[in-house]
């Protein structure tokens, strides 16, 4: 089995986490956190991980409500995705036709994950869901404009063309990739999905986005080059860094994980890492990776170079 670019990243060990669902102390911190979804998603070469729809509900009123909410949420990702590209609108009016054409790559990533859930729960016929996944990955891999594997933040949902002179976005590319790799795990026996998802991941030149520093840049534009802002303080950036460090092609150094700040907030009896940012920055990384019990996000007061 192929070894990662970093000596302390043993693919064999990571796959064994996938199989046993156990944390292995032999992996150098902070990478012991990788769960079944993370390992299968990031590195592939794992058996298909299928969601069992029969395990989701116990028939209670709460579960019925959650089922209804989840089904309605899925409707957005199904109906607001272009049939040819699979790109998902960034927003859409709920009560009327909406002529806006702007999609976002982050919404598309969440839409790909939603397709896996929908297939497992029977929200749509499995064959139709699988073909939607295939067509979306084909577009991303073969037709979607990109620079060194990174995608523009906002695009036309019909063509994938850049909108509003927006940036190539490092974090939104990562959120898209989380959905791509979730499909690679869920549809693990589909050779085309495996091939396309792997090609999309391997094409990204993560080291380029460092631009000579230890932390990743927010993005890049053809007009102005790299954005001055960097991912250097706790937020949804955890997903971005772990995808970049664990990449089989063009990874960034593992010590980049220690280069961003973990500010500590105290409120009454609670003490936690935060930067006073909105709730979503705490949620997004956890939508793709499981961090429970890993203890990898420790407070620090270190300054970022």
Question: Residues 17, 34: contact at Cβ < 8 Å?
Answer: yes
Query: What is the span of the domain harbouring residue 281?
Result: 11-287
In a domain, 96, yes or no: yes
Mean predicted confidence (pLDDT) in 42-69: 63
Which one, of 241, 227, 232, 233, lies nearest residue 265 by Cα?
Answer: 233
pLDDT band at 267 (very low <50, low <70, confident <90, very high): confident
From CA 110, how far away is CA 113, in angstroms rounded?
Answer: 5
Which CATH number goes with the domain that contains 244?
1.50.10.140
pLDDT band at 241 (very low <50, low <70, confident <90, very high): very high
Average pLDDT across the chain, whole number? 80
In a domain, 305, yes or no: no
Mean predicted confidence (pLDDT) in 146-165: 97
How much is the pLDDT for 283? Answer: 85
What kind and span of H or E run contains 105? helix 105-121
How much is the pLDDT for 83? Answer: 95
Mean predicted confidence (pLDDT) in 161-187: 96
In a domain, 293, yes or no: no
| Helix (DSSP H) and strand (DSSP E) numbers for the chain | 10, 7
Judged against a pLDDT cut of 80, whether residue 289 lies above it is answered with: no
Judged against a pLDDT cut of 60, whether residue 264 lies above it is answered with: yes
How much is the pLDDT for 97? Answer: 82
- The region of weakest confidence among 18-27, 102-111, 124-133, 226-235 is 18-27
pTM for this predicted structure: 0.80
How much is the pLDDT for 127? Answer: 96
How much is the pLDDT for 284? Answer: 86
- The residue ranking higher by pLDDT, 265 or 156, is 156
How much is the pLDDT for 60? Answer: 84
Judged against a pLDDT cut of 50, whether residue 171 lies above it is answered with: yes
- The residue ranking higher by pLDDT, 289 or 184, is 184
In a domain, 48, yes or no: yes
pLDDT band at 293 (very low <50, low <70, confident <90, very high): low
Judged against a pLDDT cut of 90, whether residue 166 lies above it is answered with: yes
Looking up tokens 């772990």, which residue turns up?
242
pLDDT band at 302 (very low <50, low <70, confident <90, very high): very low
Mean predicted confidence (pLDDT) in 241-254: 94
From CA 132, how far away is CA 150, in angstroms rounded?
Answer: 22
Number of domains in the chain: 1
Looking up tokens 């944390």, which residue turns up?
23
How much is the pLDDT for 297? Answer: 56
In a domain, 91, yes or no: yes
- The residue ranking higher by pLDDT, 303 or 53, is 53
In a domain, 295, yes or no: no
The percentage of the chain sitting over the pLDDT mark of 70, rounded to a whole number, equals 77
> Which residues have CB under 8 Å from 48's CB, separation 6+?
185, 186, 187, 188, 189
In a domain, 294, yes or no: no
pLDDT tens digits for 181-212? 999 999 999 999 999 999 999 999 999 999 99
pLDDT tens digits for 80-138? 999 999 999 999 888 778 889 999 999 999 999 999 999 999 999 999 999 999 999 99
From CA 44, how far away is CA 137, in angstroms rounded?
Answer: 16
Mean predicted confidence (pLDDT) in 139-167: 97
In a domain, 301, yes or no: no
From CA 30, how far away is CA 294, in angstroms rounded?
Answer: 8
């Amino acid at each position: 089995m192929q070894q990662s670019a970093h000596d302390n990243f043993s693919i064999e060990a990571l796959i064994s986490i996938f199989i046993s669902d156990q944390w292995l102390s032999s992996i150098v911190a902070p990478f012991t956190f990788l769960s079944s979804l993370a390992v299968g998603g990031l590195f592939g070469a794992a058996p298909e991980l299928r969601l069992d729809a029969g395990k989701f509900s116990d028939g209670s009123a709460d579960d019925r409500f959650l089922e209804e909410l989840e089904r309605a949420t899925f409707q957005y990702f199904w109906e607001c995705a272009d049939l040819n590209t699979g790109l998902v609108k960034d927003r859409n009016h709920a009560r009327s036709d909406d002529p806006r054409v702007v999609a976002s790559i982050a919404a598309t990533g969440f839409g790909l994950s939603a397709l896996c859930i929908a297939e497992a729960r029977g929200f749509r016929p499995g064959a139709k869901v699988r073909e939607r996944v295939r067509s979306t990955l084909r577009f991303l891999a073969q037709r979607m404009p990109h620079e060194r594997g990174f995608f523009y933040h906002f695009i036309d949902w019909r063509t994938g063309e850049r909108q509003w002179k927006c940036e190539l976005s490092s974090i939104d590319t990562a959120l898209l990739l989380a959905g791509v790799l979730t499909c690679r795990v869920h549809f693990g026996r589909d050779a085309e999905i495996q091939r396309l998802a792997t090609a999309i991941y391997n094409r990204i030149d993560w080291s380029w986005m460092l631009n000579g520093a230890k932390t990743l840049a927010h993005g890049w534009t053809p007009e102005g080059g790299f954005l001055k802002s960097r991912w250097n303080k706790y937020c949804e950036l955890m997903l971005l860094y772990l995808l970049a460090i664990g990449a089989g092609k063009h990874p960034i150094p593992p010590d980049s994980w220690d280069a961003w700040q973990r500010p500590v907030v105290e409120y009454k009896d609670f003490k936690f890492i935060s930067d006073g940012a909105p709730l979503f920055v705490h949620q997004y990384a956890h939508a793709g990776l499981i961090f429970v019990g890993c203890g990898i996000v420790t407070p620090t007061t270190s300054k970022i170079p």
